[in-house]
Amino acid sequence: MMSIKEYLKSVLNGNEKLAKAFNLIEPFIEEIEKDSSDRVKRYTILAQQNHDVLGRVLKCHLILENYLTDYLKHLYPSIKIENLRLSFAQLVNLLPQDQFPGDFISSGLLELNRIRNKFAHNLEFELSQDYLKHIRTLSGIQPNEEKEPIELVEKMTFFCCSLLVAKNKGQDLITETLIKVFADK
């Protein structure tokens, strides 16, 4: 890995101001490199980790946010939802909780948001079944069926996106059927 001194020299590119700044800090470069060594090691470890699950969680979160925003624009046509700059949780909370699909999917959407936040605050977070109570239900996976946690997230994402579409005859039929099925508990 390139040292701080080598890096700084490489970015000077004849810039007089950068060269002057470099000359002022050059006597302290060794001390700066010692201080930053642990951070560089941590960065290297994090950068080399497999972030496949993180990427897939983020993709699901972004897709759902897109569908959620479109659904809310249809639900509240007089409000410019996209201009409100709402968080994902705030968007979920705009779903009417006393009607389908809001009452049915909100807990899973908020659970996904908590998982995304865990990754945001700890890149070494490992997704496990312990975080998927509502997601498992919405994924359609049977309790005795073994799936990787990320597969449950992806299946739930697809299912929720299919419910978060502008009202049409097909969705009305799905909605009525699901209400009947879940009302018969």
Q: 46-50: which pairs have CB atoms within 8 A and are 24 or more residues apart?
A: 46/123, 46/124, 49/123, 49/124
Instruction: Give the per-residue pLDDT at 34.
Output: 76
Shared-domain flag, residues 144 and 68? yes
Tell whether 155 and 69 lie within a shared domain: yes
Predicted local distance difference test score (pLDDT) of residue 167: 61
78 and 12 both lie in a single domain = no
pLDDT tens-place string over residues 155-173: 999 999 988 886 666 666 7
Same structural domain for residues 15 and 87?
Answer: no
Q: Please give the Cα distance from 60 to 121 (Å, whole number).
A: 18
Q: Looking at the structure, tell me whether residues 58 and 140 fall in a common domain.
A: yes
Q: What is the pLDDT of residues 103-115, one digit of tens each?
A: 889 999 999 999 9
Task: Tell me what pLDDT residue 162 has.
Answer: 87
Burial class (CB in 10 A: 0-12, 13-18, 19+), 156: buried
In terms of domains, do 69 and 44 share one?
Answer: no
| Domain identity same for 158 and 111 | yes
CB atoms closer than 10 angstroms to residue 127: 19
Contact present, 7 and 35 (Cβ < 8 Å):
no
The pTM score is 0.72
What sign results for the dihedral spanned by CA atoms 164, 167, 173, 175?
A: positive
Total domains in the chain come to: 2
Same domain? For 87 and 120 the reply is: yes
Whether the Cβ atoms of residue 176 and residue 99 lie closer than 8 Å to each other: no
Clarify whether residues 36 and 111 are in a common domain: no
Residue 80's nearest CA partner among 90, 65, 88, 69 is 69
Q: Is the dihedral of CA 107, 110, 112, 118 positive or negative?
A: negative
Based on the domain organization, do 105 and 124 belong to the same domain?
A: yes
Q: What is the pLDDT of residues 114-157, one digit of tens each?
A: 999 999 999 889 999 999 999 998 888 777 788 899 999 999 99
| pLDDT on residue 44 | 81
Domain hosting residue 64, numbered range: 52-183
Apex CA 43: angle with CA 42 and CA 45, to 5°?
A: 65
161 and 79 share one domain: yes
Of 48, 66, 83, the last residue of a domain is 48
| Segment 79-101, tens digit of pLDDT | 999 899 999 999 999 999 888 88
Are residues 91 and 73 both part of a single domain? yes
